[in-house]
Amino acid sequence: MGEEEEVAPAAGTPPLADSLSNAPSEPAPSPAPETTPETAPETAPDTTPETAPETVPEVVSPPILLPRPVAVVTGATSGVGLAFACELLRRNTHDVVCAANEAHPERAEPALATLQAFILPVQPPGVPPPRLTLLPLQLSNLASVADFASKVTEQHPKVHLLVLNAAVGDVASSAFGSTPEVTAEGWERTFAVNYLGHAALTQLLMPALSAAQPSRVLCVTCGRHAHAWRLQRSSWVDSSASSWLRPFHGGDAYNNSKVMSILFAYKFNRTYAVASGVTANAVNPGIVPGTRLLRDRSPSYAFSFEHIAAPFWAFLTRVVSPEEAALALMTAAEAVKGGQFFQGNREGKSAGQTYDQGMQDMLWDDTAEMLRLEWPIPGL
């Protein structure tokens, strides 16, 4: 009852308010809407919140289009190298430089048509298609290697990925005492192509690799490296025609070259990973029928090897297609760490002798002497 007496009194109401109503209880609610405390909160929120969204579109900048990273792939006109280059183009992630065998220019045009088919016909708005370049390279000729490296760095000051994939070799031959094929510069051909030419190319591209750090060198090897039980210093020191030790065995030469590739990858990673931000891995993609590894054998010999020997080996190891092998290379190329060996798509272990740092150092120093290079390169 006391509360009603405090709200209802009309004594404090002005005379003008009394003339608007005859009821004594109406003057109390009428002044309430006129008071300022209730109207002030309604107008206060109308200030900044409505203007803030209008400024958002004004600070949006157009996207900055960064250049694609550059990948250089040897042996890219057939087999695993071609499949890997096609995969890079399919992913639309890299500008690709493909090395085409200088001795067989007729293979370049079909390879180029295959590669171009993997470039996306429609790119995102404002994004140019990836650059695809085919350059001649003969790994058995060091002058050709130097010319190739010069053309690459002229077009691409930065190289983010170098895939050392090209290879030759008579992996199926078991005949001792044959005469090794020798290059114009006097090196046994398997050693020159599979190892020495690649080592020279890597060092010539090292400034571009260092400029693109973090970058990666990928050495493609083979399960046959585990059978290189005759590997010793003479395996590479005596690889010149004037000092070749007899008897020569084509299979051993191939196996040894693949061990050297792994030794090189591990030593390269130890030398440059921290100092220059360039790492190296090795990968064995598996047995890949249909490559041109037996390109110099007779058609009947190559047919027997691929259709009889290779299926038999399938019971011992995994036979993969070039496309599957390309994915294994992609895994090794994209790995976070360097100094690793990949067996297919998984990290694995290479043959025990490849972890001998003394042998790695010996091969590294002897290779520098053969190529007349200063390793590590000063300033890198």
pLDDT (0 to 100) of residue 60: 44
**Average pLDDT in the 170-178 region?**
50
**Average pLDDT in the 2-22 region?**
40
pLDDT (0 to 100) of residue 169: 76
Cα angle 110-121-291, degrees, rounded to a multiple of 5: 30
Percent of the chain with pLDDT over 70: 64
pLDDT (0 to 100) of residue 242: 47
pLDDT (0 to 100) of residue 19: 35
Instruction: Write the CA distances from 4 to 7, 36, 247, integer angstroms.
Output: 5, 24, 123
Instruction: Write the CA distances from 211 to 72, 98, 215, 373, integer angstroms.
Output: 15, 20, 9, 20
pLDDT (0 to 100) of residue 226: 60
Boundaries of every domain in the chain: 146-371
Q: How confident is the model at residue 240 (pLDDT cuts 50, 70, 90)?
A: low
Q: How confident is the model at residue 224 (pLDDT cuts 50, 70, 90)?
A: low
pLDDT (0 to 100) of residue 175: 46
**Average pLDDT in the 175-202 region?**
85
Alpha carbons 359 and 370: distance in angstroms, whole number: 16
Give me the CATH code for the 146-371 domain, please: 3.40.50.720
Task: Read off the pTM.
Answer: 0.75
147-159: pLDDT as tens digits: 999 999 999 999 9
pLDDT (0 to 100) of residue 286: 86
- Report residue 136 CA to chain centroid gap: 22
pLDDT (0 to 100) of residue 6: 41
Q: Kindly report the number of other CB atoms within 10 A of residue 333's CB atom.
A: 20
More confident of the two residues 357 and 233: 357
Q: How confident is the model at residue 120 (pLDDT cuts 50, 70, 90)?
A: confident
Least confident interval from 32-36, 70-74, 151-155, 247-251: 32-36
Q: What is the average pLDDT value for the chain, to the nearest integer?
A: 77
More confident of the two residues 268 and 122: 268
271-312: pLDDT as tens digits: 999 989 999 999 999 887 755 554 455 555 555 555 555 555
Query: Which residue stretches of 64-215 are H helix?
Result: 79-91, 108-116, 142-155, 189-191, 197-204, 206-211
pLDDT (0 to 100) of residue 256: 86
Pair type for strands 70-73 and 215-220: unpaired
Which helix (H) or strand (E) element contains residue 134?
strand 132-137
